[in-house]
Amino acid sequence: MRILIVEDDREAANYLVKALREAGHAVEHAADGEDGAHAVSTGTFDVVVMDRMLPKRDGLSIIQEMRGRGDETPVLVLSALGQVDDRVDGLKAGGDDYLAKPYAVSELLARVEALARRRRPGEVETSYRVGDLVLDRLSHSVTRAGEEIVLQPREFRLLEYLMKNAGQV
């Protein structure tokens, strides 16, 4: 599973990245809101773990932006703000789950795996995006930075496999 961690606390982020990788996941880390917003808009992830209070950009605004453009990637909100109103705000902003700090890593792992399972059964990705490279499975087209790239069928299938398994291959 491909997971993005958006967390400004370097020690907590390193611990999370290590735990998720040991559990067999491909993990990327963004250390502030701007980097996190860029990562979710250009990458393809199975789950995003988003800190709520980030430098440069608030985590909830990033989630709202994701939902506004139709990105349904499951998001687990992490926050030191653990009151009921705070949790409700995180869920209303588009978060799929909310975990207050401090938390047990085993619980976070279980929640991340549960979020990944909740994707609709049979849901198939119609496109893959890695950086500025976009592969559209419906139209069998590939673009990079808006420029179309013509591929032979075998090349298309190979690129599709690589993009589907980005971070693992």
Asked if pLDDT for residue 84 goes beyond 80, the answer is yes
| pLDDT at res. 127 | 79
Average pLDDT, the chain: 89
Confidence of residue 142 (pLDDT cuts 50, 70, 90): very high
Give per-residue pLDDT as tens, 154-165.
Answer: 898 899 888 887
**Domains 2-117 and 127-164 alike in fold:** no
- The domain spans of the chain are 2-117, 127-164
Q: What is the pLDDT of residue 124?
A: 57
CATH of domain 127-164: 1.10.10.10
| Domain 2-117 fold | Rossmann fold (3.40.50)
Q: Would you list the DSSP string of 104-155? A: -HHHHHHHHHHHHHTSPTT---SEEEETTEEEETTTTEEEETTEEE---HHH
Q: Between these two residues, 87 and 168, which has the higher pLDDT value? A: 87
Question: Above 80 in pLDDT, residue 88?
Answer: yes
